[in-house]
């Protein structure tokens, strides 16, 4: 269970995905982008735009039920990416590496990039922007809405 929460705003996500694009641009060109759904869809769209990649593929892996880690399941495999040669895999976050291991087995020659990385999953990605502690749960903008939060001193 997460001990800390880190809220990412739309603006911050866009800035971080664009920063990731700058790093990835030097490593291309890319045949296309494989977005890991659902979390990788928005970062993949930003990165695909910045890299001028028009070929977008998806792979859907279900790993979490809310904040609980479960057995990973491939719900939709990537159809057009072959073994991943020349392709860029994009996800929002690598956490324990469970999803990353599974997707790497499907696309072993692809370049794996995430916006955020935790220590346990970091060795499985080729490029990332920000490292967060393993005990932090990232609250992405598509999972949250603005609301009042009590000052830390009142939270106990």
Q: Is 99 annotated as a binding residue?
A: yes
Q: Is 87 annotated as a binding residue?
A: no
Q: Is 95 a catalytic residue?
A: yes
Q: Is 65 annotated as a binding residue?
A: no
Neighbour order of strands in the sheet with 68-76: 68-76, 56-65, 32-37, 87-94, 111-118, 127-132
Q: Is 137 annotated as a binding residue?
A: yes
Whole-angstrom distance between the N-terminal and C-terminal Cα of the chain? Answer: 19
Q: Is 41 annotated as a binding residue?
A: no
Q: Is 91 a catalytic residue?
A: yes
Instruction: Considering the candidates 16, 66, 92, 143, report the single residue annotated as catalytic.
Output: 92
Q: Is 91 annotated as a binding residue?
A: yes
Instruction: Considering the candidates 95, 126, 135, 143, report the single residue annotated as catalytic.
Output: 95
Residue in 61, 60, 124, 129 with CA at minimum distance from that of residue 95: 124
Instruction: Considering the candidates 83, 91, 135, 143, report the single residue annotated as catalytic.
Output: 91
The annotation places the binding site for GMP at 95-99, 137-138
Annotated binding site for Mg(2+): 92
List the binding residues for 5-phospho-alpha-D-ribose 1-diphosphate.
Answer: 38-39, 91-99
Q: Known catalytic residues?
A: 91-92, 95
């Amino acid at each position: 269970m997460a001990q800390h929460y880190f809220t990412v705003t739309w603006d911050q996500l866009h800035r971080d995905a664009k920063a990731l694009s700058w790093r990835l641009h030097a490593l291309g060109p890319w045949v296309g982008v494989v977005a890991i759904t659902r979390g990788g869809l928005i970062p993949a769209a930003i990165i695909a735009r910045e890299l001028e990649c028009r070929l977008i593929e998806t792979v859907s892996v279900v790993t979490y039920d809310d904040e609980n880690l479960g057995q990973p399941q491939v719900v939709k495999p990537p159809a057009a990416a072959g073994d991943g040669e020349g392709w860029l895999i994009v996800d929002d976050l690598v956490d324990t590496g469970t999803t990353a291991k599974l997707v790497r087995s499907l696309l072993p020659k692809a370049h794996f990039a995430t916006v955020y990385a935790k220590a346990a999953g970091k060795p499985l990605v080729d490029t990332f922007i920000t490292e967060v502690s393993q005990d932090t749960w990232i609250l992405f903008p598509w999972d949250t809405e603005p609301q009042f939060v009590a000052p830390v001193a009142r939270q106990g």
